């Protein structure tokens, strides 16, 4: 019988673990992705976290950055620049095909999740990648310059301004899609990937009804595991460490565990943070200490295998 594993994921870090989990679970894996980073560029709907997970599961991901397609070219960007368009958000020529197809299908009346599932199937991805909602939600960060759209902060301003506050525009009117509700209802285990707890996992859990779905699963005895995105006090990628501190949290594995207390049963921390295991366990979670660095396909599969053994035993 197929075991169903649901993962919650943001961009690059989440996509790496999702790829490892897919190697173990195949079509039993459903990945709920953050859509708060989504944006409209050149009139096209771009979904960075969905697309990063998609390219990783399809084996197409750009090796150094982790987002975009390996070997992509940027001729369209160069030509757009010639017309005076802003091109700081770099969309590769092959990547653009995804945004063109998705935007056309949504404009023709397709529901976002159905459109995404169709594109995933076209790339031969066996696992399902589910936007956290079909409704638009936009993460915005307040800096000394006022409120900024997420990609303006993340890419254009290179995550340099301090983040003073977060908000998720559209969240109160959003709901999990029927596919997300069904995934949580049939889950045998849930894994929170090593993504930014505030701007990647945070928006997913803030969708009204999402947390209820996780709690209903836990009430049935479904284990929830989470992997720390903070190793040795630093984010492996992105601004999570600075953001945690700036918003009054601790940039440590235990600090992330504290944010998930009451929702997570097993918390996976890196071997360098072994000293924090007791603090994690004091929060009511079992601490699993292992090598969490996912440098290559083999290490992704190994970490995922350890997690699967913990939660689907
Ligand atoms: N990140 C960058 O740092 N610079 C970019 O120009 C950029 C373009 C881009 C295009 C498509 C896509 O799916 C992702 C892209 N990203 C880029 C990554 C993205 O901004 C972040 O990884 C996520 O939003 C954070 O999870």
- Quote the ligand 1 centre to 96 CA distance (angstroms): 13
Helix count and strand count (H, E) for the chain: 13, 14
Angle separating helix axes 48-57 and 12-25, nearest 10 degrees = 40
Helix (H) or strand (E) holding 184: helix 178-186
Atom of ligand 1 nearest to the CA of 92: 10
Instruction: Using the mean position of ligand 1's atoms as its centre, give its distance from the Cα of residue 91 in Å.
Output: 9
| Average pLDDT of span 150-156 | 97
Write down the pLDDT at residue 107. 98
Atom of ligand 1 nearest to the CA of 95: 11
pLDDT in tens, 280-294: 999 999 999 999 999
Cα separation, 295 vs 149, whole angstroms: 30
Closest-lying ligand 1 atom to the alpha carbon of residue 88: 6
Task: Give the CA count within 13 Å in the CB-facing half-sphere of 151.
Answer: 18
Does 199 score more than 80 pLDDT? yes
Average pLDDT for 254-268: 97
**Percent of the chain whose predicted confidence (pLDDT) is above 90:** 96
Q: What is the pLDDT of residue 112?
A: 98
pLDDT class for 147, splitting at 50, 70, 90? very high
For the chain, percent helix, then strand, then coil, each to nearest 5?
45, 20, 35
- pLDDT of 1 > 90? The answer is no
Query: Does pLDDT of 313 surpass 90?
Result: no
Closest CA to 50 of 85, 18, 28: 18
Q: pTM (2 decimals)?
A: 0.98
- pLDDT higher than 90, residue 39: yes
194 CB within 6 A, ligand 1 = no
For residues 137 and 118, the answer to whether their CB atoms sit within 8 Å is no
- CA 94 vs CA 10, 72, 87, 279: distances in Å: 22, 6, 16, 46
**And the tokens for 300?**
């992704």
Supply the mean pLDDT for the chain.
97
User: CA torsion, points 80, 82, 83, 87, in degrees to nearest 10?
Assistant: 40
The string of pLDDT tens digits covering residues 221-236 is 999 999 999 999 999 8
- Per-residue pLDDT reduced to its tens digit, 42-98: 999 999 999 999 999 999 999 999 999 999 999 999 999 999 999 999 999 999 999
Q: Which domains does the chain have, with CATH numbers?
A: 5-43+126-141+169-311 (3.40.50.10680)
The finding on whether 48 has its CB within 6 A of some atom of ligand 1 is yes
What would the two tokens of residue 139 be? 């993460």
Return the best residue to mutate from 89, 92, 158 for the ligand 1 pocket (most ligand atoms within 8 A of CB): 89
pLDDT at 175: 98
The verdict on the CB of residue 67 being under 6 Å from ligand 1 is: yes
Q: Residue 2 has what pLDDT?
A: 78
Q: How far is the CA of 51 from the centre of ligand 1 (A)?
A: 10
Residue 252 has a pLDDT of 97
With a 6 A CB cut-off, is 46 part of the ligand 1 pocket? Answer: yes
Q: What are residue 70's phi and psi, to 5 degrees?
A: -60, 130
Average pLDDT for residues 122-133, to the nearest whole number?
98
| pLDDT for 237 beyond 90 | no
**Counting atoms of ligand 1 from 1, which one is nearest the CA of 47?**
13
């Amino acid at each position: 019988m197929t075991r169903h594993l649901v993962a919650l994921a943001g961009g690059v870090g989440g996509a790496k673990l999702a790829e490892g989990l897919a190697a173990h679970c195949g079509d039993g894996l459903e990945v709920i992705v953050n859509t708060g980073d989504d944006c409209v560029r050149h009139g096209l709907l771009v979904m960075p976290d969905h697309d990063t997970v998609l390219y990783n599961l399809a084996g197409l991901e750009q090796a150094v950055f982790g987002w975009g397609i390996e070997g992509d070219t940027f001729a369209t960007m160069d030509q757009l620049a010639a017309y005076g368009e802003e091109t700081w958000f770099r969309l590769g020529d092959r990547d653009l095909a995804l945004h063109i197809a998705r935007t056309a299908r949504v404009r023709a009346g397709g529901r976002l999740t159905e459109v995404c599932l169709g594109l995933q199937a076209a790339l031969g991805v066996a696992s399902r990648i589910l936007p956290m909602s079909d409704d638009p939600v936009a993460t915005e960060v307040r800096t000394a310059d006022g409120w900024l759209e997420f990609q303006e902060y993340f890419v254009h301003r290179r995550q340099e301004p301090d983040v003073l506050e977060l908000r998720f525009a559209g969240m109160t009117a959003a709901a999990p899609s029927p596919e997300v509700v069904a995934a949580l209802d049939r889950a045998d285990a849930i894994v929170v990937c090593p993504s930014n707890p505030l701007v990647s996992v945070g928006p997913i859990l803030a969708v009204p009804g999402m947390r209820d779905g996780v709690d209903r699963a836990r009430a049935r005895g479904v284990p929830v595991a989470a992997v720390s995105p903070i190793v040795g006090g630093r984010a492996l990628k992105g601004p999570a460490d600075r953001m945690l501190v700036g918003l009054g949290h601790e940039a440590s594995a235990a600090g992330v565990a504290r944010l998930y207390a009451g929702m997570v049963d097993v918390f996976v921390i890196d071997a360098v943070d072994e000293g924090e295991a007791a603090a994690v366990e004091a929060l009511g979670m079992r601490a699993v200490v292992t090598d969490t660095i996912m440098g290559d396909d083999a290490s992704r599969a190994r970490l995922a295998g350890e997690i699967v053994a913990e939660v689907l035993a």
